[in-house]
Amino acid sequence: MKMDEDVDLTWLAENTSGFVGADLAQLCTEAAMICIREKSDLIDYNETKLPDGLLDTMKISMKHFKTA
């Protein structure tokens, strides 16, 4: 997924001291899942395809990382 322009990689690096690769991967996965959950009301789970353009509107933001 895309990251929003507000993502501060320096802040993330400073606040994930002691994280190993698996920890960072899980952080990113959880941030992405939070982003997806925000759009879950737009997804018809009976369909096999997402609505056109939905993925283009989804960007992981700093808010998602901080929540994760």
**From CA 20, how far away is CA 53, in angstroms rounded?**
34
Structural domains in the chain plus CATH codes: 2-15+27-67 (1.10.8.60)
The pLDDT score that the predictor gives to residue 1 is 76
**From CA 7, how far away is CA 11, in angstroms rounded?**
9
Q: What three-state secondary structure class fits 3? A: strand
The pLDDT score that the predictor gives to residue 52 is 83
Length of the chain counted residue by residue = 68
Task: Provide mean pLDDT across the span 39-52.
Answer: 82
Task: Provide mean pLDDT across the span 44-64.
Answer: 86
**From CA 28, how far away is CA 35, in angstroms rounded?**
11
pTM for the model stands at 0.82
Which residue reads 């606040």 in tokens?
Answer: 15
pLDDT band at 39 (very low <50, low <70, confident <90, very high): confident
The pLDDT score that the predictor gives to residue 19 is 97
